């Protein structure tokens, strides 16, 4: 304990009490949207890209908390739009995860200012993440923006999943397909998006994929069809609609 206290005292001596305090304060101010406080801290010499103990910058926290005005100011002061790329948490990721209306606007702001949309988090692109969480209105807005902006529709993510394997809502499924999503893309298990939609009991998405020509009798690496995949689930949950849809379109086990 004495050793830790000694180290802390040395840090204060080397860095100065004000430097340590400012580094903490600017991140807190960014989270809370305290623009005037941020301006004061920067005037006192703090780095606009100061890192906290999690290696996050003020811009990340402002984006993650829907603080658009703060984001605009930090960007005007030269904040690094792609800071945190090494750990998978750039300001764009923060905006995506903010789950706020302002987060959508911040996401667009960052992209329009040159932020790299090619960031990969846990094996997934931003589009993978956005379409997966699309039941949240703000995230759906980001997904729509990414698709319209030309994001790679058929990008392979973790386990070779494409965005169409991960999409959770009908509207974005339609949008992905209209932009060229491969309805027969195979993941690591050899499964097409129809397998995943049927496993997730997503009847609307199953109907959409079939209407667009998805092979109802495609076989995965085990030799299973979507109906074979869905059958046990239909029996155990008594949710028979998926099985009925597949059977009505010629699906076999």
Upper half-sphere CA count for residue 152 (Cβ side, 13 Å)? 14
Q: What is the pLDDT of residue 251?
A: 86
d(CA 115, CA 96): 13
Backbone angles phi, psi at 125, to 5 degrees: -80, 170
Q: Nearest-CA neighbor of 110 among 131, 133, 93?
A: 93
Domains, the chain, with CATH or none: 13-87 (1.25.40.20), 183-253 (1.25.40.20)
How far is the C-alpha of 252 from the C-alpha of 240, rounded, in Å?
Answer: 15
pLDDT value at position 181? 98
pLDDT confidence of residue 233? 75
SS3 of residue 149 by DSSP: coil
Show the tokens assigned to 201.
């009991």
d(CA 74, CA 80): 9
User: Model confidence over 219-251: pLDDT tens digits?
Assistant: 999 999 999 988 877 776 657 889 999 999 998
The whole-angstrom separation of Cα 117 and Cα 81 is 11
pLDDT of residue 230: 87
In this prediction, residue 232 carries a pLDDT of 74
- State the distance between the two ends of the chain, measured CA to CA, in whole angstroms: 66
Q: What is the pLDDT of residue 234?
A: 75
Residues 6 or more apart whose CB falls under 8 angstroms from that of 69 comprise 33, 35
Distance (Å, rounded) from C-alpha 129 to C-alpha 186? 18
Ranges of the chain with pLDDT below 50: 1-21
Instruction: Give residue 20's pLDDT.
Output: 41
Task: Decide if 142 contacts 102 (C-beta within 8 A).
Answer: no
pTM: 0.85
Q: Nearest 5 degrees, angle CA 184-CA 186-CA 187?
A: 145
């Amino acid at each position: 304990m004495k050793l830790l206290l000694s180290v802390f005292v040395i840090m204060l001596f080397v860095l100065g009490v004000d430097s340590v305090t400012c580094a903490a304060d600017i991140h807190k101010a960014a989270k809370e949207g305290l623009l005037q406080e941020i301006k004061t801290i920067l005037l006192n010499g703090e780095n606009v890209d100061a890192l906290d103990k999690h290696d996050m910058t003020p811009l990340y926290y402002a984006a993650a908390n829907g603080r658009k005005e703060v984001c605009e100011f930090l960007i005007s002061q030269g904040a690094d739009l792609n800071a945190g790329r090494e750990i998978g948490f750039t300001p764009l990721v923060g905006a995506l995860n903010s789950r706020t209306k302002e987060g959508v606007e911040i996401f667009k702001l960052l992209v329009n200012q040159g932020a790299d949309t090619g960031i990969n988090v846990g094996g997934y692109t931003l589009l993978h993440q956005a379409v997966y969480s699309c039941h949240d209105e703000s995230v759906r807005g980001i997904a729509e923006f990414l698709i319209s902006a030309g994001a790679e529709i058929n990008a392979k993510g973790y386990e070779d999943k494409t965005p169409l394997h991960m999409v959770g809502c009908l509207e974005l499924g339609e949008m992905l397909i209209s932009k060229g999503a491969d309805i027969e893309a195979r993941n690591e298990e050899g499964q097409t998006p129809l397998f995943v939609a049927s496993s997730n009991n997503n009847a609307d998405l199953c109907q959409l994929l079939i209407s667009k020509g998805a092979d109802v009798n495609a076989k995965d690496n085990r030799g299973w069809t979507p109906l074979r995949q869905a059958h046990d689930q239909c029996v155990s949950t008594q949710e028979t609609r998926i099985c009925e849809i597949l059977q009505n379109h010629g699906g076999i086990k």
